[in-house]
Amino acid sequence: MKRIHNFNAGPAALPLPVLERAQREFIDFEGTGMSLLEHSHRGKAYDNVHNEAIALLRELMGISEDYHVLFLQGGASLQFCMIPMNLVPKGGSADYVLTGTWAKKALQEAERLGVGRLAGTSEKDGVFPRIPKQGDLDLDGNAAYLHITTNNTIAGTQYHDFPDPGSVPLVADMSSDILWRPIDVSKFGLLYAGAQKNIGPSGVAVVVVRKDLVDGARTDLPNFLRYSIHASKNSLYNTANTFGIYMIRNVAAYLKELGGLGKVEEMNRAKAKLLYDMIENNSDFYRCPIDPESRSMMNVVFRLPTEELEKKFIADGLAAGLNGLKGHRSVGGCRASIYNAVPMAAVEALVAFMGEFQKKA
C-alpha cells in the first residue's frame, strides 16, 4: 500500500489515523456484528456516534447551549438558499460580502429569492486578491444578517479578523476553514461548512445556529428546508448520512487527541509559513498573487513564470507523489490545499520539490 501527499481542495485529505480507525471498525462495529453502514439511524449504536460527534464539536469549538449543532445534507450549497429562506423575513433583505466564487454563489441564491444585497466586494479585474476591510463595507442596519465567506478556497484568501456586523447577526460560510483554529462562536448567528474540506467526507454539512434565530425563522417553507424541523429532531428528521457523521466524529476525536484547536492552529501556521516563505524567498520564480495580509492558511495559491511551466510543475509533482497542485480551472495557476489533515511532512516534501523544480527549469 502506498499513500501519496494529497493537496486536493475538496474532497480533501483525511487524517490517516481517522481512516485507520474507520478501517478497523468497518465490518464489525463495536462488537455488534454489523458495519455502522448497516445500522439503523434510530438505533442505539448509531445514536451514540451521532451525539458524540455533536458533543465533540461543542467541546472543540466552545459552542454553548445557545446554539444548535446540525448535520444536514445538500452540502454548503443547500445552505446558500436555506439561510435566506429561513432567516430573511417577508419584505426584508440580507447583506453579502463578495470575496470569491463561493461568496458569489451564496449571493446569487439570495438574489434568486429577491433578498440579496451587496455590502462589499474585493473583486478586481475578475479576481479577488484580498479581503475587504471594515471601512470598505456598506452595511444595512436593517439587514437580516451579514454573510461572509471566511476562507476563499479558490481565490486563496482568508479573514484573519472577522468584520463587525453591527447589530445584525454574522453568518459565515466556513466550508474550507472550520476547525482550523479556535474562534469565538458567540460572534456568529450562524456558521456552516460542507464537511469535505476540513472536517470529514462529502455529503454532510455542519450548521451551527443560534437557537433564537431558529425560533424566529420563517415557517412558510417545506419541512425539509426548515432549521426548526431538523433541530427539533436532532438532525434525524430523515435518514442522516450516518457514515459521514461517523467520520466527522472520528476527525473531531482525533483533533481533541492532538490537543485541541490551539494546537491545530500552531501546526497549520507552521505549514503555511514554510510554504509562503518558500514562495517569497524565490520570488524570481514563484509568485503569490494575494495581498500578504489576506493570504489563506488553508489554500495557498501561486504562479510560476509561464503557464507551460505551471503545467509541467503540476505533472511532475504528480509523478513525484504530490497530488492536487492544479489551481481551480476558473483562475488557473497552482494551489496547494494544506488543511488540518495535511501533515507537515507533506508540505516539506512540496517545498523540497519546488526547490528542485526551480533549479531544473
User: Catalytic positions, please?
Assistant: 102, 173, 197
C-alpha span between 78 and 80 (Å, rounded)? 5
Does 247 sit near ligand PLP (CB under 6 A)?
A: no
Q: Which is nearer to ligand PLP, 195 or 278 (CB)?
A: 195
Q: Which is nearer to ligand PLP, 76 or 251 (CB)?
A: 76
Does 198 sit near ligand PLP (CB under 6 A)?
A: no
Does 71 sit near ligand PLP (CB under 6 A)?
A: no
Q: Which of 5, 6, 8, 10 binds ligand PLP (CB under 6 A)?
A: 10
Stretch that binds ligand PLP, among 75-83, 212-220, 270-278, 325-333 (CB under 6 A): 75-83
Q: Which is nearer to ligand PLP, 46 or 102 (CB)?
A: 102
Q: Nine-digit cell at 92?
A: 426584508
Q: Which of 17, 25, 45, 77 binds ligand PLP (CB under 6 A)?
A: 77
Minimum CB–partner distance for residue 130 and ligand PLP (Å): 16
Residues binding ligand PLP: number (CB under 6 A): 12
C-alpha span between 125 and 233 (Å, rounded)? 46
Does 282 sit near ligand PLP (CB under 6 A)?
A: no
Does 327 sit near ligand PLP (CB under 6 A)?
A: no
Q: Which of 99, 121, 158, 175 binds ligand PLP (CB under 6 A)?
A: 175
Q: Which of 153, 242, 268, 337 binds ligand PLP (CB under 6 A)?
A: 153
Stretch that binds ligand PLP, among 168-176, 220-228, 306-314, 331-339 (CB under 6 A): 168-176
Per residue, what are the HEC states of the chain?
CCCCEECCCCCCCCCHHHHHHHHHHCCCHHHCCCCHHHCCCCCHHHHHHHHHHHHHHHHHHCCCCCEEEEEECCHHHHHHHHHHHHHCCCCCCEEEEECCHHHHHHHHHHHHCCCEEEEEECCECCECCCCCCHHHCCCCCCCCCEEEECEECCCCEECCCCCCCCCCCEEEECCCCCCCCCCCHHHCCEEEEECCCCCCCCCCEEEEEEHHHHHCCCCCCCHHHCHHHHHHCCCCCCCCCHHHHHHHHHHHHHHHHHCCHHHHHHHHHHHHHHHHHHHHHCCCCCECCCCHHHECCCEEEEECCCHHHHHHHHHHHHHCCEECCECCCCCCCEEEECCCCCCHHHHHHHHHHHHHHHHHC
Does 116 sit near ligand PLP (CB under 6 A)?
A: no
Q: Which is nearer to ligand PLP, 241 or 353 (CB)?
A: 241
Does 244 sit near ligand PLP (CB under 6 A)?
A: no
Q: Which is nearer to ligand PLP, 191 or 288 (CB)?
A: 191
Minimum CB–partner distance for residue 79 and ligand PLP (Å): 8
Minimum CB–partner distance for residue 85 and ligand PLP (Å): 16
| Amino acid of residue 26 | F
Q: Which is nearer to ligand PLP, 175 or 250 (CB)?
A: 175
Q: Which is nearer to ligand PLP, 95 or 173 (CB)?
A: 173
CA angle 219/223/229 to nearest 5° reads: 80
Does 109 sit near ligand PLP (CB under 6 A)?
A: no
Does 337 sit near ligand PLP (CB under 6 A)?
A: no
Does 242 sit near ligand PLP (CB under 6 A)?
A: no
Q: Which of 6, 122, 149, 158 binds ligand PLP (CB under 6 A)?
A: 149
C-alpha span between 124 and 37 (Å, rounded)? 47
Q: Which residues would be at the binding site for ligand PLP (CB under 6 A)?
A: 10, 75-77, 102, 149, 153, 173, 175-176, 194, 197
